[in-house]
Structure 1
Amino acid sequence: MEPKFRTLNPENTRSQIAIVSQEPTLFDCSIAENIVYGLDPSTVNMARVEEAAKLANIHNFVSELPAGYETRVGDRGTQLSGGQKQRIAIARALVRNPKILLLDEATSALDTESEKIVQEALDRAREGRTCIVIAHRLNTIMNADCIAVVNNGTIIEKGTHNELMSQKGAYFKLTQKQTSEKK
Structure 2
Amino acid sequence: MPTGVAIRDPRQQLFEAAERVLLRTGPTGLTSRAVTEEAGVAKGVLHRHFTDFDGFLTELVRGRIDRLALRGSALLAAAGTGTVADNLTAALIDVFDPVGVAVVGLVIARDELRTRLRALGSTGIPLMGEAAGVLAGYLAAERDLGRIAGDADVDVLAPTLLGAAHLLFADREAGAPDGGAVRKVVTTVVAGAA
Return the TM-score normalized by structure 1: 0.31
Richer in helix (by share): 2
Richer in strand (by share): 1
